[in-house]
Copies of this chain bind each other. A is one copy, B any other.
Amino acid sequence: MVQVVVNDPIGMHVVLDLYECDPQILDDMEKVEEVLTKAAEVANATIIDKRFHKFSPQGVSGVVVVSESHIAIHTWPEHGYAAVDVYTCGDHTMPLKASEYIIKELKCKRPSIVKLDRGLLFKE
């Protein structure tokens, strides 16, 4: 029998598919940037860079690069839908708390939340 033993994962990646959000918020780039920036703080991550873009006629994309990986969002106001990834490394970070904050701020009524362990190393 093969025994698979892994250490703690290097990172935790929360995959959020957020349905029934507030379309006005999803199309407001400044607000979306504010939410993701604050979310990085809630996650206790250290921001090293961020880029946000507004699409025409609607929609926002944004990535906050943190020392501990990244937080990204892509919005479709026309569907009330936002795809969010909260991916952080290290025991000091709290990606689920950040996810909860984002769900609340986007006024999401139907969130899908999947948590992925990233980087499961075999024990020596």
Contact = CB atoms under 8 A, between A and B. Distances in A.
A42 to B, nearest CB: 20
Given A63-B63, A69-B74, A81 B10 contact: yes
A13 B74 CA distance: 12
Contacts of A116: 15, 114
A115 interface: no
Interface in A52-90: 53, 55, 61, 63, 65, 67, 69-70, 72, 74, 76, 79, 81, 83, 85, 87, 89
20 contacts: A10-B81, A11-B74, A13-B15, A13-B83, A15-B116, A17-B119, A48-B53, A49-B51, A49-B53, A51-B63, A61-B65, A61-B69, A61-B70, A63-B70, A69-B74, A69-B83, A70-B72, A85-B85, A85-B87, A114-B116
